[in-house]
Amino acid sequence: MSRAERLLDLMQVLRRHRQPVSGRALAAELGVSLRTLYRDIATLQAQGAAIEGEPGVGYLLRAGFLLPPLMFTEEEIEALVLGSRWVVDRGDSRLGGAARNALAKIAAVLPPDKRDGLDGSALLVGPGEPIGAGDKSVAAGDAELATIRAAIRSERKLELSYRDRDGSDSRRTVWPFALGFFDRVRVVVAWCELRQSFRHFRTDRIQALTLTDSRYPRRRQAMLKEWRAAEGIPQP
C-alpha cells in the first residue's frame, strides 16, 4: 500500500468515528505501528485536515471536513451505483431524482477510467413487488413520503389518521425518527404519544397526515439509539 493510500484510509477510518478514538485503536485497524500512525496524523494536519486530539487523548475529525470523491475504489463505485439504483427503484420520486443527481455529481469529478466503471456497472436491482401490493388501503404517495422525511429531518411531530391491520381507525400524534424501505412496504418508526412507546406505522395504512409546527422534545439520534437497543439491533 502506498503512503497516499494509507493516508486516505486513515481519513476514512476517522470519518466513521463520532467520538475521539485512541491512536492505538487507529493503528490496529489500519495495520500500522503507533509511530507511523502519529506521523501520518501529523502529515494530514499539516495539509489542512481538521483532525483534533493528541497522543493519550484520542483523535477526532472535525465535522464538515470532506474529501473529494476522486479516490473511490472499484468496489466503492459499485456500492454507490447499486445503492443508487435501489433508491431509484424502491424510493419515492424525489429520492430517486436525488440519487440520479448524486451519481451525476460524482461522475463529473471522477477520472475517466473510474467514470467508465460507474457508467458500466453490471450490478442490477431485481424487480420487487409493488409497494402496498395486496393491501386494500391507500398507499402513501410521494408527497406523503416527502412530508415524513421532512418531519424526521426537522424533528417535528406528525398527526396521523391511521388504519391498523384489523381495519380499526385511530388518530395519532407521533415523533418520527426513522423511515424503513422494504420491498413491499415502507415503515415509519416513531414514538407514539397515544401508546407512550415506540411504534411502527406502515405508510400504506396512513389515511392522512399533517406536519405540525411542534418540535418533539427529544433528539432524533437519541431516540434512534434507544429504539435500536429495545429492538436488539446493533448500534452502527
Model confidence at 16: pLDDT above 70? yes
3-state SS, residue 163? strand
pLDDT reported for residue 47: 77
SS (H, E, C) 41-81: HHHHHHCCCCEEEECCCEEEECCCCCCCCCCCCHHHHHHHH
Measured in degrees and rounded to the nearest 5, phi and psi for residue 173 equal -110, 120
Of the two residues 118 and 196, the one the predictor is more confident about is 196
pLDDT reported for residue 129: 61
Is the torsion defined by CA of 121, 123, 125, 126 positive or negative?
positive
- CB neighbours (10 Å) of residue 107? 15
Model confidence at 135: pLDDT above 70? no
Residue-wise pLDDT tens digits, 196-208: 999 999 998 999 9
3-state SS, residue 130? coil
The cell for 206 is 396512513
Could you tell me the CA-to-CA distances from 92 to 141, 149, 195 in Å, in that order?
Answer: 8, 11, 29
Is the torsion defined by CA of 53, 57, 59, 62 positive or negative?
negative
Q: Domains along the chain?
A: 3-61 (1.10.10.10), 74-119 (no CATH), 142-231 (2.30.30.520)
